[in-house]
Every structure is written in C-alpha cells, then in structure tokens.
Amino acid sequence: MSYERLEKCPVCGKTDFRNKLVVEDKSVSQESFAIVQCTACGFQFTNPRPDAASIGRYYESDEYVSHNSAAAGLINQAYKIARFFTMRRKVALLNKVARKGKILDYGCGTGHFLAACKANGWQVQGVEPSPRARAEATKRVGKPIEADNLGAFEPSSFDAITLWHVLEHVHDLNDTLRQLIGLLKPDGTLIIAVPNVDSPDAQHYRQDWAAYDVPRHLYHFSPKTLTQLLKKHKMQVQETLPMMLDAYYVSMLSEKNRAERGEGLLTVLRTGYHSNAQAARRDGNYSSLTYVAKRK
Ligand SMILES: [Zn+2]
C-alpha cells in the first residue's frame, strides 16, 4: 500500500495548495483523504492519494455498480433506471456533436454505452482497466476491449472519444489526455463528463457530497478548471451540457453518507430538484456536466 503526494498542480503547474476539505471513503475503506485546492488556479484534487499500483483495492466493493451490473440494492436499481434514460441521451448527444464514424469510449465500464453506439451505426472501441468490467463489456459489445494500452490504436483515427465519469479517476491526467487527443482526427470531438464541484449539491452536502468519492476520484473539476486543463491541451470547450439525473443520484448517495439522515426519498427529490433549478436559474453549475471540446 503506498500513497503519493502531488507537488505540482496538474492543471497549472504551481505548487501552493490550501486544504479544502477532509472526506471519508464511506463506501470501501473508511479511510479519510484530504482535498486540496491550488491557490493559483483553483483546481481541487485529492492529495495525497493512493498511487496507481495501490488504487485497485479501493474499487473492491460489490456495490461498485459501474463495474458489476449484477449488483443489487435500491440505489443500484435507481442507477440502472437512470442508465436507461441517460444512455439514449448520450447517443443522441454524440450524434449531434460528432460526425458518425469511429468512437473510442475510454473507461467503458460494462460496455452499455458502446453497445448503444454500435446499435446506432458507430464503429466502436473501448478501454477498461477493471478485468471484471472488461470481460462483461467484451461480451456485451462483441469485440475485445483494451485494458489500458492506448498505443494499440491508430493515431488520428477517431471521430469521437468519450470519457463518461472517467477523467476524475485517471492517475496520469495530462499524459492520458495528450494520448487520447492524439487519437482524435483533426476535427474529432472529445466528450468529457465529470462531477461539478461548484454545483449547489456539492455546496449543500460538503464533505458528504457523494461525488467527491475519494480516493477513487482524484480530481474535483469545475467548469473553470476543466476548461483551463483542456485549453492547455489545445482543446476548446464548445458546449457544456447538464446531466440532470446526476443531481438526484448524487443526492441519494450523499444522504446515505450523512450522519443525520434526511427524510429519505423526499429529501433526495427535493435536493436534486433544487440543485437543477438553481443551476438553471443562476450559472449552469449542474451536479455533473458534459463538456464537448474540439481542437482550437
Ligand atoms: Zn493550479
């Protein structure tokens, strides 16, 4: 078991951080982790964090549903219902912002999105490090899924690359982005969905906000910091789209985290609704956001 401490901000490279929050991993290890914020650019990240060789055991939970679609329980049922709706929306979004052709889903989990793309006429490829999820995705998609080797793909060959709630898990953030962008055609589209640390539900739940999900989430992006990171990689954010169901899902998990429980379902619905309504009224800071980016 070993931890590593980032000395430089992965977004801007500066070295001065302030402690922002201490968050407990309530779903697997019960360990606490510090989230720090770069004083120069405002980027928030888990620091120190388990290194890449040690992070595996923090995913070892039968509840970790995106790696195991047979997982049971109410929250997982809700997740599956939400998945049904979001999958259709994701494919519709993809068709709107990218030219149909080859797609790479990086961190494809159990392969539901890729299967939906394939059914919609896309040529699909996937990468998934978790062996269990990869085996399931291979079966669902009907072709081999890469474990993590981006060198296996032809440079400048993809019309679209998607990372649905994946970038916040990636240890080598800049190197991975660089490699992925190298796989995009010159006019290819990069689609990145991540939780939004500036959302009303993040502010409401604070250290209990489920989308902190330490130490699995290594970074806690806001529209400002993700845009800055992509800009560094010569990518320009063209559109930012809300993922409305996430406010409910994250609120449901967050209520579970709180010491004093709320009133169950009603509280969840109210918090999720308020988060979306506030984001719509004010500044577009939804619980999770999907960023559509292209080369500058
Ligand atoms: Zn910074």
Asked if the structure places residue 2 within a domain, the reply is no
Residue 42 burial (C-beta neighbours within 10 Å; 0-12, 13-18, 19+):
middle
pLDDT of residue 262: 54
The candidate with the shortest Cα–Cα distance to 111, out of 155, 146, 78, is: 146
Query: Does residue 180 lie in a domain region?
Result: yes
Ligand 1 centroid–CA 5 distance in Å is 15
Does residue 43 lie within any of the structural domains? no
Residue range of the domain that includes 286: 63-295
In the chain, the number of structural domains is 1
Q: How far does the centroid of ligand 1 lie from the alpha carbon of residue 271, in Å?
A: 31
Q: How far, in Å, are 42, 62, 63, 145, 163 from residue 70 at the CA level?
A: 39, 9, 9, 20, 23
Cα 221 to middle of ligand 1, angstroms: 12
29 in a domain, yes or no? no
Measure 225 CA to ligand 1 centroid, in angstroms. Answer: 8
CATH assignment of the domain containing 155: 3.40.50.150
User: What is the gyration radius of the CA atoms in the chain, in angstroms?
Assistant: 18
Q: Which residues surround ligand 1, an ion (CB under 5 A)?
A: 9, 11-12, 14, 38, 40-41, 43
Q: Per-residue pLDDT tens for 57-100? A: 898 776 555 555 555 577 677 777 777 778 888 999 999 999 99
Is residue 278 very low, low, confident or very high in pLDDT (cuts 50, 70, 90)?
confident
Q: How far is the CA of 188 from the centre of ligand 1 (A)?
A: 27
- Dist. CA 37 → ligand 1 center (Å): 8
141-188 per-position pLDDT tens digit: 999 999 999 999 999 999 999 999 999 999 999 999 999 999 999 999
**Which residue type is seen at 193?**
A
Cα separation, 268 vs 36, in Å, equals 28
Give the distance (Å) from ligand 1 centre to CA of residue 44.
8
Q: What's the rounded Cα separation, in Å, for the pair 95 and 160?
A: 10
Q: Is the pTM of this model over 0.85?
A: yes
Determine, yes or no, domain membership for 24.
no
- Residue 13, by phi and psi: left (phi above 0), alpha (psi -120 to 50) or beta? left
